[in-house]
A and B are shown apart, each in its own frame.
Chain A
Amino acid sequence: MTETTGKQNLVFIGQPIDRLDGPFKVSGRATYAYEHQHGEPLHGMLMGAGVGKGRIRRLDTSAAEAMPGVHLVMTYRNAPAQASFGEELTVKPGTQRPRPVLFSPDIRYYDEPVALVVADSLETARAAIQQIEIEYSTAQGIFSLEDAREAVYAPATANAGLATESLIGDAEAAFASAPMRFDATYTNAFEHHAPMEPHAALAVWNGSQLTIFTSTQTLWQIQEGVANTLRMPKENVRIVSPFIGGGFGSKLIAHAETISAALAARALNRPVKVAFTRQQMFANAGHRPMFEQRFRLGADRSGKLVSFSHDSLGTTSRFEEFAEQSASAYRSMYAAPDRATRHRLAPLDTNRGEWMRAPGEAPAMLAGECAIDEFAEQLGMDPIEFRILNEPERDPERNVPFSTRKLVDCMREGAERFGWRARQAKPASVVEGRKLIGIGMSAAIRANYIGPGSCRVRIDRQGELTVELDMTDIGTGTYTILAQVAADSMGIPLRRVGISLGDTLFPRTAGSGGSWGATSTASALHDACRLLKEQIVRVARETLNSPFFGANGEGFEFSGDRVIVGDRTAALTDLLELVAPEGMTAVGTVERGQNLRDYSQHTYGAHFAEVEVDADTGEVRLRRMLGVFAAGRIFNPKTARSQMIGGMIWGIGAALMEEGGLDPRYGNFVYGDLASYHVPVHADIGEIDAVFLDEHDDKANVFGAKGIGELGVCGAGASIVNAVYNATGIRIRSFPITVDKVLAVLPEI
C-alpha cells in the first residue's frame, strides 16, 4: 500500500504563511520561561566569583541569611551532593555530563556561581547577595591567547566528531613550489550569543518528579543534564519550553540557572525560579572562542589553486574542551589537489566556549573568504571568477559527489541582482563627499545534517490533527512550518492543525541546532502522517460500510480534505466518523540516512555588500547587502527570509562590532552588557535582502529541503570586510574592524 503523491499535495509548503505564534508573541500570551507561574515561586539569584582562578578563602553568608524574606543561601558548603563534573574522557559522545554547581570552593572562571540566594522576591535576593562577604586566594590564570601559546595542543576531534586534521597530498610542498602564493593570518574576537531572553528556569518538584520550565533549544539535553547532575532517572525529569527568546546555540545544554533552580526547589520544597542577569550571560552561557587562523593558498599562473591550507587555533577552557570545528569549514569548498586543515586549541581559564550559530563556518569563513578575496586580487582576478575557476566537481576531500551544489548560480545571480559589474576593481576609486564607497562579496557553505527523532500525530473524528513532539521554536518559525507540513501531508486545511512543541512528554527530537530542526522534524512528522494515512485507509478497506470496503488498487491519496482510493473518493471527515470515531494516532520517525555518507551535502550562498567608510573618522556603515542562497526546497519563504537576514546581520556584527573583551589580568569579559558589547541595531543595516534559488535536493529528505538556520551568517561578514577593502584599499585582518583599526591605516583623501 503506497501513497500516490501529486503536486496538488503542496498547498501550504512553500507559501509565505505568517507565523502562527506571532499573535501570541505580540499580545503577550506567549509564556516564556521566567513568566511561568506555579504556586508562588521563590526567586533565586546567583552570585558570581570575583576572580578568574583561585579559591574561596573566606565566606560569610550570615548577614544575607538573616535578611527578612531570604529562604536560602546555597554555597559549596551546603549545596546538596551532585554528581561530579567528571573527567573529560568519562563523557560518552551523545550524552550529557553532570554539570554540578556550587560544589567546590575552587574557582574555575570569572563569574562562576559561588552562591545562590533564594528569597521572596528578586529584589530581596539581589539585596542579599550584596550582603555576602567573600574573599578569595587568587591563583595565576591564563586569560589570553598569548599566554596560552605554550600549552597549545591538538584535540582528539573537533566538535561534532569532525576530524582534527585533514591532510590530502602534500599541501606544504605544493605551496612551496606554487608560482603564486598567499599566506596570511586572521584573528577573530570572542563573540557572545546575547539572545533577547536570558537563560531562565522555574523548577517544580512533585514528590520525586521534577518539572522545569526553561528556555532551551534541545529539551532532551537539558533533561539528561539535569538527571545526570542530580543523579535521578531522566524519566523523572520533565522539561517544558514552548517559547524561546533566541538561543543561537547558547541554550543547548543545562546551565547553572537550571541546575541551581532544581537544587533549591528540592531543598525548600517550593517552586524556585532562577535567571541569569544580562551581565551573567557573558561568562556563564557560553561564547564563541577567539581564533587565529592562517590560510596558505598556492595557485598556478592561471589562478587554479594547487594548495589549500587552513590552520585554525581557537581558545578552549582548561577544564572542559570545546573545539569549534573552524578548520572543517573549507574541506568541501574549493578544489585544490593538495590540502591541509588543522585544529589546535589554546586552553584558557575561562568558561567553555559553546556552539554559536554556524560553529566552524562562521569564524572560518569570516577569515577565509577574505583570504580568497585577497588572493584573487593578487592574481589579478575577479573574486567571483576566481571562485568559479576553483569550483570542485566532487567533494575535494571525501571524493564523493555533491548532492546538489549551486554555489556558482548563487554568485552569478547575486552579481546580477546586486550590480556587481559596476564595481571598480581598483580600491578607493569611488568617493562621495567624504565617504569612500566600496562593494565586496563572499561565498557561503554550510553542512546539512539530519537529527534523529520522532513525532506523534493524532486525528479526531472531526479531522482535527494534533501534532506533538519535543521540538522547539526558537523564533525560527517551527510552529508555522510544521503546521504547513502537517496540513499538506494530510491534505487538510491549516486551521485544523494544532502543533504542540517543547515538552519532554512528547516524542523526542534532536531539537533546534545544527540547522537540522526543520528538515528533521518535518521528516518525522511526514512519516507520522504517512503511517496515520495508511492506518486510516487500511481500516477503511476493512470496514464493512466504508466507501473503501474492498477497494481495489494499491494507491491512495489525501488531498483537498478528501481521500481517494483507486477510483473511489470520500470526504476525510465522513471517513473518520466511520473508521476512527475515537480518533487515531501514529508515531513517525526520522533517522540519519546513508546519503550523508554517500554524498557531500551542503547549502550554499553568496553575499554582496556595499559599504561607506568615513574618510575622516574611519566609521564603516553598511549601505546595502544581498544574500543569494541555495538550500533545497524552502518550506516558508517568509520565515526563511527572516532567518537568512538574521544570520547576515550577525555577519555584519562579527565584521564590524561584536567583540568580547577578556581582561588578561583578571579573566573577566569586560564588555559585559549590551551597552558595551555591540550588536547591530536597525540603523546599522541599511537595505538588506535575501533570496533563494529554486532547488530540490532529493538526497536530503522527502521534501528535498535542507537546513537554513546557520547558512545566513556563513561568510556574511567577509563580504563587508572585502567591501571595506574595495572602498579604502586597506586590509584589516583582525575582526571586528572597528574605528580604531581602520583609522590607523586609513589613506588620506
Chain B
Amino acid sequence: MRGFTYERAADVASACASVAQNSSARFIGGGTNLIDLMRAGVERPSHIVDISRLGLAEIAETPEGGLKIGAAALNSDVAADRRVRERYPLLSQALLAGASGQIRNKASVGGNLLQRTRCPYFYDTRMPCNKRSPGAGCAAFDGLNRMSAVLGASRSCIATHPSDMAVAMSALDAEVEIAGDGGKTRTLPIGDLHRLPGETPDIETNLRHGEMITAVVLPPPPAGRQIYRKVRDRASFAFALVSVAITLDATGGRIGAARIALGGVAPKPWRVARAEEIVSGQSAERMSFDAAADAVLEGAQGYGHNDFKIELARRTLLRTFETASQA
C-alpha cells in the first residue's frame, strides 16, 4: 500500500472537487473492496476522500411512491429496512445473498455498485490484465476462467461484475443519482452506469472522475412477484456463478410484465429488454420462458472453464420463472 493522504469530506461538493482535481484520488465509503485492492497494489490512490459521513445514509420515501436509498446506506441496513423487505423483497434477498454479515455491516450501497471484479488475474498484479494495465493482455481469456463472463465480454476482458445488489436494482429499474464537480447533479438509469469492456476494460462506468453516486432511486415496485436466486459454490459467502433477478406479474396465468436480470455472467447486471417484451402478454408457461431465456442468453459465449454458465443460467432462469409464476 502506497502512502496516501486522507480527507474526511465536509460535503458532497467539496468531496467531488477534491477528487476531480487529483487523477489518482479515490472516494472511500465502507472500504471493503478498495482497501483490499490497495493492499494488493491494484489500486494505488494518492488521496482518499471519505464520503461515509455526508448524511447520505438515509432511506426515504419518494413522492412517486418509491424509495430513495442514500449511497452511504449500509448493505445490512438496506436489507433489513421494512419498506425494502415489503416492497422490494428482491433487493433485500440479493443483499443478503451477498458477502457476509460483517462485510454487509460495513459496505455501502454506492460502494457495492462500484466494486470491482474479483477476477483472480486482476487481483494478482504480476499477471497480465487489461483492466489493470491497459494493453497488457487478458490472462483469464485462456486461463482458469471458471468465474468469468459469458455475456458482454470482449477479447480484452472477460471479467464479471460481482455485485448481487446491482442485479436486483437493475431488475427494479433503479436510477442512480450522481453529483459532480461544481455541484452539478445528474441521473443515470442503472443500466447505463456500467460499461461493457470493449477495448477499454479499464473504464468500467460512465461516471466521470470526481463524480460520486449520492443515491439510488427505486421507482414504485413492479406488480407481481420478485425473486432473487443465486447459484454459488457454497451456501454462503461466495460470489455468484449465476444469479437471476426476476419480477413477474402473472396473475391469471398470463404474463403482464416481467423483468429479468442476470448476475455473475457479464461485466454488468445483464438485462435484455427484448426478452422481457417476448414474454409480456404470453401465457405463463415453459414455452414463453424458454423464448425469454433464449433472448437473454443470445450471443452467450464460454471460454472453456466457464462454458457451464450458459446452461446453468438457462436452467436457473427457467426455474425462477416457474417459481415466480406459481402464485
Residues of A within 8 A of B (CB): 48, 50, 123-124, 126-127, 129-130, 277, 279, 434, 616-619, 621, 656-657, 661, 663, 665-666, 668, 670-673, 675-676, 678, 680-684, 738-740, 743-744
Q: Are B234 and A680 in contact (CB under 8 A)?
A: yes
B188 within 8 A of A: no
Q: Are A663 and B144 in contact (CB under 8 A)?
A: yes
Whether A681 touches B233, Cβ cut-off 8 Å, given contacts A50-B126, A130-B2, A663-B144, is: no
Q: Are A670 and B41 in contact (CB under 8 A)?
A: no
- Give per-residue flags for B114-136: 1 if the beta carbon is below 8 A from chain A beta carbons, else 0: 00001011011011000000000
- Give per-residue flags for B203-237: 1 if the beta carbon is below 8 A from chain A beta carbons, else 0: 00000000000000000000000000001111111
Q: Are A675 and B308 in contact (CB under 8 A)?
A: no
CA distance A712 to B123 in the complex (A): 35
Pick the residue among B1, B118, B242, B315 that contacts A676 (CB under 8 A): B118
Q: Are A657 and B315 in contact (CB under 8 A)?
A: no
Within 8 A of A (CB), among B124-165: 124, 126-127, 139, 142-144, 146-147
CA distance A187 to B299 in the complex (A): 34
Q: Which residues of A contact B235 (CB under 8 A)?
A: 621, 681, 683-684
Within 8 A of A (CB), among B225-262: 231-239, 241-242
Given A681-B236, A739-B233, A743-B312; 10 other pairs, CB 8 A cutoff: A277-B39, A617-B315, A665-B139, A665-B142, A670-B144, A675-B239, A682-B236, A684-B235, A738-B233, A740-B146
Q: Output the least CB separation between B318 and chain A (Å).
A: 7
Q: Are B143 and A657 in contact (CB under 8 A)?
A: no
CA distance A151 to B120 in the complex (A): 30
13 contacts between A and B (CB under 8 A): A50-B126, A126-B39, A127-B1, A279-B40, A617-B312, A665-B142, A666-B139, A668-B126, A670-B120, A676-B120, A683-B235, A739-B233, A740-B146
Q: Which residues of A contact B40 (CB under 8 A)?
A: 279
CA distance A506 to B319 in the complex (A): 63
Whether A616 touches B318, Cβ cut-off 8 Å, given contacts A663-B143, A665-B142, A743-B312, is: yes
Q: Output the least CB separation between A551 and chain B (Å).
A: 64
Q: Output the least CB separation between B107 and chain A (Å).
A: 14
Q: Are B118 and A670 in contact (CB under 8 A)?
A: no
CA distance A743 to B127 in the complex (A): 31
Among B139, B234, B305, B318, chain A packs the most CB atoms within 10 A around the CB of B234
B298 within 8 A of A: no
CA distance A663 to B304 in the complex (A): 13
A124 to chain B: closest residue by CB: B3
Q: Output the least CB separation between B243 and chain A (Å).
A: 11
B44 within 8 A of A: yes
Q: Which residues of A contact B120 (CB under 8 A)?
A: 670-673, 676
CA distance A683 to B120 in the complex (A): 24
CA distance A670 to B241 in the complex (A): 17
Q: Which residues of B contact A665 (CB under 8 A)?
A: 139, 142-143
Q: Are A668 and B127 in contact (CB under 8 A)?
A: yes
Q: Which residues of A contact B311 (CB under 8 A)?
A: 743
A614 to chain B: closest residue by CB: B231
CA distance A617 to B242 in the complex (A): 10
B92 within 8 A of A: no
B316 within 8 A of A: yes
Q: Are A681 and B234 in contact (CB under 8 A)?
A: yes
Q: Which residues of B contact A668 (CB under 8 A)?
A: 124, 126-127
A278 to chain B: closest residue by CB: B39
Chain B interface mostly: loop
CA distance A739 to B126 in the complex (A): 30
CA distance A683 to B230 in the complex (A): 14
CA distance A124 to B1 in the complex (A): 7
Whether A739 touches B234, Cβ cut-off 8 Å, given contacts A123-B1, A665-B143, A670-B144, is: no
Q: Output the least CB separation between B93 and chain A (Å).
A: 15
Residues of B within 8 A of A (CB): 1-3, 39-41, 44, 118, 120-121, 123-124, 126-127, 139, 142-144, 146-147, 231-239, 241-242, 305, 308, 311-312, 315-316, 318-319
Q: Output the least CB separation between B149 and chain A (Å).
A: 15
Whether A743 touches B308, Cβ cut-off 8 Å, given contacts A616-B316, A673-B123, is: yes
Q: Output the least CB separation between B160 and chain A (Å).
A: 13
Q: Which residues of B contact A277 (CB under 8 A)?
A: 39
Pick the residue among B124, B143, B233 that contacts A678 (CB under 8 A): B233
CA distance A680 to B142 in the complex (A): 28
Q: Which 3 A-B pairs have the closest CB atoms?
A: A50-B126, A683-B235, A683-B236
Q: Output the least CB separation between B126 and chain A (Å).
A: 3
B231 to chain A: closest residue by CB: A617
Q: Which residues of B contact A657 (CB under 8 A)?
A: 233-234
Among B41, B233, B242, chain A packs the most CB atoms within 10 A around the CB of B233
Among A130, A279, A616, chain B packs the most CB atoms within 10 A around the CB of A616
CA distance A380 to B255 in the complex (A): 50
Among B3, B124, B238, B242, chain A packs the most CB atoms within 10 A around the CB of B124
Among A277, A657, A739, chain B packs the most CB atoms within 10 A around the CB of A739
Whether A434 touches B319, Cβ cut-off 8 Å, given contacts A673-B123, A743-B311, A743-B312, is: yes
Q: Output the least CB separation between B258 and chain A (Å).
A: 19
Q: Which residues of A contact B2 (CB under 8 A)?
A: 127, 130
Q: Are A666 and B127 in contact (CB under 8 A)?
A: yes
B320 to chain A: closest residue by CB: A616
B229 to chain A: closest residue by CB: A617
A618 to chain B: closest residue by CB: B312
CA distance A743 to B314 in the complex (A): 12
Q: Which residues of A contact B142 (CB under 8 A)?
A: 665
Q: Are B118 and A675 in contact (CB under 8 A)?
A: yes
Q: Which residues of A contact B232 (CB under 8 A)?
A: 619
Q: Which residues of B contact A666 (CB under 8 A)?
A: 127, 139
CA distance A661 to B3 in the complex (A): 33
Q: Are A130 and B44 in contact (CB under 8 A)?
A: yes
Whether A684 touches B41, Cβ cut-off 8 Å, given contacts A663-B144, A670-B121, A739-B312, is: no
Q: Are B238 and A678 in contact (CB under 8 A)?
A: yes
CA distance A661 to B124 in the complex (A): 14
Q: Are A670 and B231 in contact (CB under 8 A)?
A: no
Q: Which residues of B contact A681 (CB under 8 A)?
A: 234-237
B140 to chain A: closest residue by CB: A670
CA distance A618 to B315 in the complex (A): 10
CA distance A673 to B239 in the complex (A): 13
Whether A616 touches B319, Cβ cut-off 8 Å, given contacts A666-B139, A739-B231, A743-B311, is: yes
Q: Which residues of B contact A684 (CB under 8 A)?
A: 234-236
Q: Output the least CB separation between A609 and chain B (Å).
A: 15
Q: Are B237 and A661 in contact (CB under 8 A)?
A: no
Pick the residue among B3, B147, B234 that contacts A683 (CB under 8 A): B234
Q: Which residues of A contact B242 (CB under 8 A)?
A: 617
Q: Output the least CB separation between B236 and chain A (Å).
A: 4
CA distance A43 to B233 in the complex (A): 37
Q: Are A126 and B1 in contact (CB under 8 A)?
A: yes
Q: Which residues of A contact B123 (CB under 8 A)?
A: 672-673
Q: Which residues of B contact A673 (CB under 8 A)?
A: 120, 123
CA distance A532 to B234 in the complex (A): 53
Q: Output the least CB separation between A67 and chain B (Å).
A: 9
Q: Which residues of A contact B305 (CB under 8 A)?
A: 740
Q: Which residues of B contact A434 (CB under 8 A)?
A: 319
CA distance A568 to B314 in the complex (A): 84
A685 to chain B: closest residue by CB: B235
Among A665, A740, A743, chain B packs the most CB atoms within 10 A around the CB of A740
Q: Output the least CB separation between A625 and chain B (Å).
A: 14
CA distance A130 to B3 in the complex (A): 11
Pick the residue among A123, A129, A744 that contacts B308 (CB under 8 A): A744
Whether A619 touches B231, Cβ cut-off 8 Å, given contacts A126-B1, A670-B144, A671-B120, is: yes
Q: Are B241 and A616 in contact (CB under 8 A)?
A: no
CA distance A312 to B232 in the complex (A): 31
CA distance A663 to B146 in the complex (A): 12
Whether A672 touches B234, Cβ cut-off 8 Å, given contacts A127-B1, A616-B316, is: no
B4 to chain A: closest residue by CB: A127
Q: Output the least CB separation between A253 and chain B (Å).
A: 26
Q: Output the least CB separation between A614 and chain B (Å).
A: 8
